[in-house]
Amino acid sequence: MDKDDAKKLPYPLIHPDVCKGCGRCISACPKNVLEMSEKFNGSSYHYAQYIGEGCIGCANCYYTCPEPLALEVHVQEKKKTTK
């Protein structure tokens, strides 16, 4: 997994070992910032990965992903504007 702690929000977090490489998230991404890995994971699947920038936090990838625990999207909490 990416060791970069100072990741810029928003970003998707994909767990390579849980991904089965169906590619649905890659098709769903409006910014084309997801790609299929060259490598295989422990279950011999290619896995989806984030190219590292350009995510807008729309969560399209999350909702199209068929694996409930493979992918999550970290976004900035919306601040409630108080007047």
Partner 1 sequence: MAEKIIGRLDGLYKDFSRKGGAVTKATHYCPGCGHGVIHKLIAEAMVDLGIEDRTIMISPVGCSVFAYYYFDCGNIQVAHGRAPAVATGISRAEDKSVIVSYQGDGDLASIGLNETMQAANRGEKIAVIFVNNSVYGMTGGQMAPTTLVGEVTSTTLDGRDSDATGFPLHMCEIVNTLDAPVYIERVSVSDISKIRRAKKAIYKALEIQRDAKGYAFVEILSPCPTVVSGNSKANTEFLNTLMEKEFPLGLLRDKSQDAKPFYREDSCFSKDKLDSLFSLSTYGNKDAQIDENFKDLEVKFSGFGGQGVLSMGLMLAKAGCVDGRFVSWYPSYGPEQRGGTSNCAVKISGRQLSTPVIDKTDILMATNRASLDKFAGDVRRGGIIIYDSVIGDYKMPRGVKAIGVPAVEIAKKFGSERAANTVMIGVLMAVGNTNLSDESFERAIEETFVAKPKLIPMNIKVLKEAYEWAKSQ
| C-alpha span between 3 and 1 (Å, rounded) | 6
Using the Cα atoms of residue 31, residue 13, residue 6 and residue 76 in order, give the sign of their dihedral.
positive
* 36: contact with partner 1 by CB under 8 A: no
60 to 79: interface string for partner 1, x by CB under 8 A: x-xxxxxxxxxxxxxxxxxx
| Residues touching partner 1, count (CB under 8 A) | 35
Residue with tokens 């910014």: 31
Least Å distance, CB 65 to partner 1, is 7
Q: Which of 35, 81, 18, 29 is nearest to 58 (CA)?
A: 29
Interacting residues toward partner 1 by CB under 8 A = 9, 15, 17-18, 20-24, 27-28, 42-43, 45, 57, 59-60, 62-79
